[in-house]
Amino acid sequence: MAKELPLKAIGVVRGKTAQPPQPDEGRVISEIIIDSSLTGALDGLEGFSHIIVLYWMHQAPAGRVPTKVHPMGKPEFPLVGLFVTRSPQRPNPIGVTTVRLLQRRGNILTVEGLDAFDGTPVIDIKPYIPGYDSVAEAKVPQWLTKSFGISQKLQDIYRRLMDGYGPQHWWPAEEPFEMIVGAILTQATAWSNVEKAITSLKAARALSPEALRRLSLPELAALIHPCLYYNAKALKLKSLAHWLGDCYQDDLARLFANNIDDLRRQLLSIHGIGQETADSIILYGANKPIFVIDAYTRRILSRIGLAPETNSYTAYQALFMHGLPTDSELFKEYHALLVCLAKHVCRSRPLCRQCCLNNICQSVITSL
């Protein structure tokens, strides 16, 4: 049945991203440069608000194509046939995205929402025709409906929090090492006490790996005394400082050059650094996209009715990682906004009437 078919690129994607954006990142603006010999074939396209772009995913993994995959690479989804998914690893790696056409300038199309990165070959352009290209009562599997539902709820919560509290610009630190120290000191401690401890370290000129290594444990414990468990945290900071010196010669840029998985594995090997602290360092220090889960996040999601089936750090994290665009700035603001909500309203004894989420919170609805 195999037969060679002629296929010719008609253009190429040009954009600022070297990696494919998330499918729901509609704000991504790209240009499609069509072969100049086909400029006339675009006449009249500007009359459509949306177009359908077909492109060749030329950087899809090579090799044997699997017949079954987990949709979107998420193991919590059922193992299904390849053609049930949008996986790029397929016999013919053709991608299809409906985008907004912002402008046409000769053979250049400016579009919004193209799920392809710079250099992707374009193989066809079609107009999007409502009624013809959409199906009013289309059916999809339950696992897909559930996934989209959670994603929409998470994004709705984010919009409500942002409207209510505004950008938090978290983490409050002047440089990455201060952020790392703060992540350790804030374990089971109010941030106001962490600020006092960091001020004390700065006054003693001890806020660097080298300075921490020079201090004795009692000296360091005295400087961070405002924090709970200051003796234990002094040992944690010393362990971090020695590890950073031994493994990276105090070079945070080298440390942060690791990919997320390797960086997380290394951080978790350090005495006193657990999952929440490691992920805080990765997100806020290294500026890499991983969602931080803390007690506040668990409390809010549990009350809203979005808690995962298993009460584990990994399960809560997967909820956000799979339900939101992979964006470190989004993750920072979302996490900080949840902390803000928990401190001001969603306390251990909640002030539900003041909460911007009270009309979608299961704890409030079931109590009425």
Quote the CA–CA distance of 273 and 63 in Å, as a whole number. 39
Question: How do residues 195-213 score in pLDDT, each as one tens digit?
Answer: 999 999 999 999 999 999 9
- Please, which pLDDT band fits residue 24 given cuts at 50, 70 and 90? very low
pTM score of the predicted model = 0.69
Q: Which CATH class is domain 176-354?
A: mainly alpha
pLDDT at 279 over 60: yes
Question: How do residues 52-90 score in pLDDT, each as one tens digit?
Answer: 999 999 888 888 888 998 877 777 678 889 898 888 888
Lookup: tokens for 22: 């998330």
Quote the CA–CA distance of 82 and 90 in Å, as a whole number. 7
pLDDT at residue 113, as a whole number: 87
Quote the CA–CA distance of 295 and 23 in Å, as a whole number. 30
Look up the CATH superfamily of 11-58+93-127.
Answer: YaeB-like (2.40.30.70)
pLDDT at 242 over 60: yes
Question: How do residues 99-108 score in pLDDT, each as one tens digit?
Answer: 999 999 999 9
pLDDT at residue 134, as a whole number: 80
Quote the CA–CA distance of 299 and 118 in Å, as a whole number. 41
Question: How do residues 355-368 score in pLDDT, each as one tens digit?
Answer: 999 998 987 756 55
Q: Parse the chain into domains and list their residue ranges.
A: 11-58+93-127, 176-354
pLDDT at 18 over 90: no
pLDDT at residue 138, as a whole number: 74
- Please, which pLDDT band fits residue 20 given cuts at 50, 70 and 90? very low
